[in-house]
Amino acid sequence: MSKSQKNRGLGRGLSALMADVAVEEPTKDASSEPRRADMMVPIEKISPNPEQPRRTFTQEQLDDLAASIKEKGVIQPLIVRPKPQSDDEYEIVAGERRWRASQMAKLHQVPVVIREYNDTEALEVAIIENIQRADLNAIEEAAGYRDLMDRFGHTQEKVSEALGKSRSYIANLLRLLNLPGDVQAFVRDGKLSAGHARTLVTAENPSALAREIISKGLSVRAAEKLAKGPSLSKPRQTNPKSEKDADTKALESDLSAATGMKVQIDHKAGGEAGTVTIRYQSLDQLDDICGKLSS
C-alpha cells in the first residue's frame, strides 16, 4: 500500500463505514432491524475477498449459523462490491461466514447490499466487521484496532468515537500487542484472560510469569501481585530498584499506548536526568517509531 493510501483515510469516513457493516446476529432491540437488501444474487456468482483478514472459520460456529439460516434465512444481507471485469459477479466485502453457512444450508441465492468500494475501503470494512465479532479474543480485537490505525491513519480518538468504545479501553487493548508472541498465543487460545495479560505488560519476564499463572490457575488479582513482587520464576535481586511513582507509571502507560510499543522510564531520584527505553518486536515497529520521531 502506498504512503498516500495509508495516510489519506477514507472519503466516506470511519463512522459512515461503520453504518455500512451489518452485524451477523442482530439484537432484539428495534434499532437493530436487518438492513434491506439491494437484490438477491445467485450464491455461485459471489466469491470471497482474497484479502479478507479473517482466515479461520470454526466448523461448530458454521454449523450453528447454517442451522439458523435453514430456519430463518439470511437475516442480514452480505455487503459486496462488483467484481472487476465482470458484469454479474460480486466479491464479498463483509459476510463471508454467512456466505459459507448459506452454502451449507443449500441456499441458491442470498441477499446482498452492493457498494462501490475500492480495495482499500473494502479491506477497512472487512477489518471493522471482524472487530464486531462476538467471539473475538482480546489479541484479535487489539490487532483490528492497530490495523485501522496503522493502515488507514485513524487515531485512537476516531476509532473510539466510531466504535463506541472508550479511548482507555482501546489503549489498554493495544498494550497487549507489546507482549511476547507466546503470551499473546496464550490469550488467543483462551489460556490467559485479557485481565491476566494486562498485568504482564510491564513485567520484566512476562513469558515465565504467564506460564506460572496458567500452571497455578491464579486469579487476576493474584497475577497482579505476582507481576509486582518476587516470584518463583524471577530470582530475588539483592538490590531491588526503588518503586516508581504513580506519575512515572502513568507516563509510561501513555507513551506505550501512543507508540504501540513498551516504553520504560528510568528517572534518577533527586536529579533531572534519566532514560527512556522503547522496546520493539519487529523491524516494522522500528521503522514506525523512526518515522514518528523524524516527522
Contact 260, 288 (CB under 8 A): yes
List the catalytic residue out of 25, 44, 60, 96.
Answer: 96
Please tell me the distance from the alpha carbon of residue 227 to that of residue 248, in angstroms, as a whole number: 18
Please tell me the distance from the alpha carbon of residue 224 to that of residue 196, in angstroms, as a whole number: 8
Category of 153 on φ-ψ map: left (φ > 0), alpha (ψ -120 to 50) or beta? left
Per-residue buried b or exposed e for 217-237, using 16+ beta carbons within 10 Å of the residue's own CB: ebeeeebbebbeeebebbeee
141 an active-site residue?
A: no
CB burial of residue 45 (10 Å; 0-12, 13-18, 19+): middle
Please tell me the distance from the alpha carbon of residue 137 to that of residue 31, in angstroms, as a whole number: 26
Distances in Å between the Cα of 119 and the Cα atoms of 43, 49, 113, 146, 184 are 22, 10, 17, 19, 29
- The residues that are catalytic are 96
